[in-house]
Amino acid sequence: MSLRSPLARVRGLGSAKDGTSHWWAQRLTALALIPLTVWFCISVIAMSGADYVTVATWAGSPLVGGLLILLIVATFYHGALGLQVVIEDYVHREMVKLVMLLVVKATSLVLALTGILSVLILLFSRT
C-alpha cells in the first residue's frame, strides 16, 4: 500500500511518445496491401496451371521480385501487428501473453525472411 496518489506515481514519467505508431503502421501496411494483394491475386490466377519455368521466370524478374518482397514485408508486418492486438485482447495471463507475443514476432520474422530469401534466390538464379 503506497501513500502516493495514482497521479503522483505517473507524473513525470512522460508518455512513451509512440502512442499512435502501432495504429498508424497497421493502417499504412493495410493501404499498401490493397494494390499489392490485388496485383498478386491477378498474377497468380493468370498463371493457374502454368509450368515451373513460367512461374520462376515471373517471380525472378526485378520488378516482380521487388513487388513480391514488398508484399512479404507488408503482409508479415501487418499480420504481426494484428495478431499482437488479438493476443493482448484475449490473453490475460502475463507470462502466457509475453511468450505468445514473442512467438508471433519471431515466427513472422522467420517466415518473412524465408520468403524474401526465396524471392532473391529466384532472382539471382534466373536463366
CB–CB of 79/123 below 8 Å?
A: no
Residues that bind other proteins (rule: CB under 8 A) add up to a total of 35
∠ CA 36-49-69, nearest 5°, is 25
Whole-number Cα distances in Å, 27 to 40, 97, 125: 20, 24, 35
What mask of x and - would describe binding to other proteins in positions 97 to 126, judged by CB under 8 A? --------------x--xx-xxx-xx--x-
Closest separation in Å from C-beta 61 to other proteins = 13
Among 2, 5, 20, 48, binds other proteins (CB under 8 A): 48
Does 6 engage in binding with other proteins (CB under 8 A)?
no
Q: How long is the chain?
A: 127
Does 55 engage in binding with other proteins (CB under 8 A)?
yes
Residue type, 17: K
Q: Which is nearer to other proteins, 7 or 45 (CB)?
A: 45
